[in-house]
Structure formats: structure tokens, C-alpha cells
Structure 1
Amino acid sequence: MTRPKRSDELASAIADLIIERNLQPGDPLPTENVLMADFQVSRNSVRESLKALQAHGIVEIRHGYGTFVGSASSAALHPWLLFRTRASGSSVERLSELLEIREILETELTRRVAGGDSVELRQKLSGCVDRMRVEGEDAATADRQFHEHICNAAGVPLARELVGLFWDVYRAVETDVETLSPSPEETAARHQRVVDAIGSGDAEQAEQAVHAHFSEVRDRLGTGPYRSPRGP
């Protein structure tokens, strides 16, 4: 086994080892002594690399028990994305970027679910819309879950994690800028149009409903129109 030259290379080598051995979340990693011998590096190098991997959720260090494969959830990206959104230029511009990425993802996902058996999905979405009509923290939770249900129904778990991550960061940074808060009924109405479009079975109608939903959010933010990847 080739000796890694730097701590970041060692971290990558340990991550590769996890993949090569098909280790699953919760599985134990080789001990520090074994990693030192396999990669011909010092204990400090191993510990530094494991801490770097832990920061990304790739490993979990349990003091007194050992090191285990982590869940590597998108939550590990939250501090980075939150910092980048707040530190890189105008918060409004960065929020606009988050919205655009979400819109690109959710437009395609909603098109997919509109063409399938949507009865169970529409029941879940309608339940979320009902909760949005009651002002309070649960309304925000229902909003987040609404979009997660669509990702789940489309069969793209990674998209669900990414959309949830973008949603959480947007909510956190939105407090830094002045926006007009919609009424619970307005929020519910925007989402209900998406539910109705999905129920129609028309992918084009579903796409337009998603664009209309995000357009109203951008209006509150005061940013420009959506730039479609399909062109004008």
C-alpha cells in the first residue's frame, strides 16, 4: 500500500478503504494501529485525517470504543453552505442561487411524479397544505416536508437530502434580509396549485405550477426571473 503524502491524501485513502471493503454505516474501521501500519504513517496523521472525515460525516469517532463508518448525511454540508451563502457577496444574490438550484431540481422531480400514480402522494401533500394554513413552527415543517414528499415519490433520495439542505440554509439566511412574509393562506395556496397540477397527470402543468411557486418566492425576495436551462 502506497504511503499517502499529506493528511488530505490520507483522508481520501481511508475513505477509499471504506468503499473498497464495502463497509456500511455503523461498521467499525480498522484500529489506529492497523491504519498506521497499512499506510505507514504516524498516529497523529491518522487522527488528523479521521477528524477531517468526521467533519464530513464519513466516520464517527466514539471515544473509548473506536471509529465507525458514519452516515455521511447532507447535514455535514450545512455549515459550509450556510457560511458560503452569508459570506460570499450579497445575501439576496446567494439566496437567489439557492432558489434557482432548488427550482431546477424540483421542476424535473415534479414532472416525474405527475406522470405516475399520485393518489398516496397527493394525500400526503394535501395534509402538509392543511398544516400550512395554521400559522406557527409546524407550518414551516409542513412546507419542508411537502417538498421532501415529492423527492421521495420521484425515487431520488439524494435529491431529498439536497432540497432539505437548501431549504434549511435558505430559512436561516432569510432572516438576514428584509422580505415580505406571506400569509398562511397564501403559502398554502401556492402549494395547493402544485398538488392540483400533480393530480392532473399533466407534466407540463406540473412544471408550470412549480415555476409559479418559485416565482412568487422570488418576488418576495426582489430578485430577477428564473433562467430556464432550456433557454428562453
Structure 2
Amino acid sequence: MTTLLNEVAMTQDLTRPSLSDALTERVLELIRSDGLRAGDRLPSVRELAERFAVTAPTLREALRRLEATGAVRMRHGSGVYVGAGLERVVIPNPNVRRLAGGQLLQLLDARLLIEPPLAAMAARRADPADLARLRSILEQAGQHLRGEDAELNQINMTFHRAAAHAAGNDVLDEVIASLLSLHATEQREILRLFDDRVRDHEEHLAILAAIEDGDARAAEELMRTHLTDVKRVIEKRLD
């Protein structure tokens, strides 16, 4: 009986919101009720601690939890600011290990499921600002075809992220952004193994042309073919 009571008590402790949990919610409520946006400054740690009747160290713990998700940014000597990740619905795991060879292919499989339909959506929905950004990115990529792998890879991934963003689906945009930013090292490895910068660039240009033409079917097929070609080469080089 005692053991059962102890187990019940432990379960209640685990499910009961902690003070830090409650504080994170109150800080979020403050941000939203005051209509604060990314980049806006919050009251100081001391002011917030007094407002919520807690100690400054306890409040800092809650703020660090919010900072880990991008909801706030703590700048030493400056203050606490609303972060760009406040409304994110997809949170990347910064502790994940580097992907092995087989997982590189799984990463490409995931992109194959998501990016071609997004390219089609971009062809239907992209506005002039989206198109101008995509053109600018590829112009920059063309100037770096003989540059460093890391620099060119960053530009290429920016193109894929911008194409996903142009589709107008915030959740899927976040999924692609999370995959590409979190696994930047693996993406550089994919570029190294693919080892055909000119072909890669030309395929990006073809995708952009289809998006600019508003040809959803062509944009989707070109993106699928592009990623399938990359995966096929990676499979051969990993054998």
C-alpha cells in the first residue's frame, strides 16, 4: 500500500506544473497581451521578477527555457528581447547526432516528400518579392561555383528554403528550414559527394524558371528530378 501511495505521489509530482513552467507561460502571456513582436524589448529581469513575485535566478531559468526555443533572446548587458521563434510550431533538436550514410539518404527521402509539392505551390503563389529573392540567390550561387564548399552549400540551401517559403505554408516552411539548418553538415557532405556544381546550379535555374512561369506541374517535377538525381549519385558513392 505504501509503495502504491509513493508511486501515486511521484506521478503527481511529474504531472504537476513546476514554477518554471508557470513562469514561462506567464512571460508568453505578457508578450502576447502587450502585442510585442520579434525584436521588441521586454522589461528587465529584475522588473519581471518583481512583477511575478519570484527571485531573479528563478526567472532567469524560465527565460533560458524560452531562449532554447527561440521565443526570447537574452543579450548580455542589453536585456531580454522577443525572439523570432516565438510562434514556431516546429522546433529542431540541437542535440541530434550527425547523420550516418544511410540517414543521409533518409534525409533526402524526407526532402523528396516535401519539397516537390512546395515547388508547385510556389509556382502558384509566389509574389514578385519571392521571385526577386530566388533570382538574387541563384545569381549569387553562380558567382560562387568555384568557391568554398561551405559557402556554396549555404547559398544553395538558402535557395531551397526560399522556394519553400514562397509556397506560403508556414508549417512546411518551418519543416524544411529545420531540416536544412539543423543538418547543415550533412548537406555539405551531400554537395561534396554529388560533386557537380554546374549541373546542380542549372537544375536550380530550371526550377526557378518554372516557378516564374507559374507552371506548377513543371516546378514540382523539376524539383523531384533534381533531388532524385542527387540521391542516386549519393547512393552510388556510398556503396
TM-score normalized with structure 1 length: 0.69
Partner of 1:95: 104
User: RMSD of aligned C-alpha atoms?
Assistant: 3.7
The equivalent of 1:39 in structure 2 is 52
Partner of 1:111: 120
- Mapped to 1, the partners of 2:214 and 2:190 lie a distance apart of 37
Amino acid aligned to 2:63:
L
Counterpart-to-counterpart distance in 1, 2:191 and 2:39: 43
Candidates 217, 220, 224, aligned match of 1:204 = 217
Identical pairs, percent: 25
1:179-190 aligned within 5 A: 180-190=193-203
Q: Partner letter of residue 134 of structure 1?
A: R
Give the residue type in structure 1 aligned to 2:107: L
* CA gap 1:121/1:68 in 2 versus in 1, 3 angstroms: closer
Which residue number in structure 2 is paired with residue 215 of structure 1? 228
Cα distance 1:205–1:157, how it changes in 2: closer, same or farther (>3 A)?
same
Give CA-to-partner distance per residue, 1:130-181, whole Å, 9 cap, x none.
Answer: 3364353443243123223423433456655553442233331356799733
- What corresponds to 2:148 in structure 1? 136
Task: Note the 1:49-88 alignment, pairs <5 A.
Answer: 49-72=62-85, 80-81=93-94, 83-86=95-98
Using the alignment, how far apart are the partners of 2:170 and 2:144 within structure 1?
24
**Cross-structure match for 2:4:** none
Q: Give the Å deviation of 1:208.
A: 1.1
Deviations 1:205-226 (A, max 9, x none): 2111111111122223329xxx
SS at match of 2:81: strand
What SS does structure 2 have at the residue aligned with 1:84? coil
Task: Report the CA distance between 1:46 and its aligned residue.
Answer: 0.9
Structure 1 CA distance for aligned equivalents of residues 20 and 198 of structure 2: 53
| Closer/same/farther in 2, CA of residues 189 and 85 from structure 1, 3 Å limit | farther
Decide whether aligned partners of structure 1 residues 163 and 177 sit closer, same or farther in structure 2, where only a CA change above 3 A counts: closer
1:73-101 deviation digits (Å, cap 9, x = unpaired) = 88xx66x34x3242xxx623443443344
Which residue identity lines up with residue 114 of structure 1 in the other structure? A
Structure number with greater Rg is 2
Cα 1:117/1:18, change in 2 over 3 Å: closer
> In terms of mean alpha carbon deviation, does 115-124 or 27-36 score higher?
115-124
Instruction: Give 5+ residue unaligned stretches, structure 1.
Output: 224-232
Q: Distance in 2 between matches of 1:172 and 1:44?
A: 36
Specify whether residues 125 and 198 from structure 1 end up closer, same or farther in structure 2 by C-alpha distance, changes over 3 A only.
farther
Number of positions where the alignment pairs a residue of Structure 1 with one of Structure 2: 214
- Structure 1, residues 33-77: CA drift from partner, whole Å, max 9, x if none? 443344343332112111222233322334444323233388xx6
Amino acid at match of 2:196: S
Flag structure 2 segments of 5+ consecutive residues without an equivalent: 1-16
> Quick one: structure 1 residues 96 and 201, their matched pair in 2 at CA, closer, same or farther if it must change by over 3 Å?
same
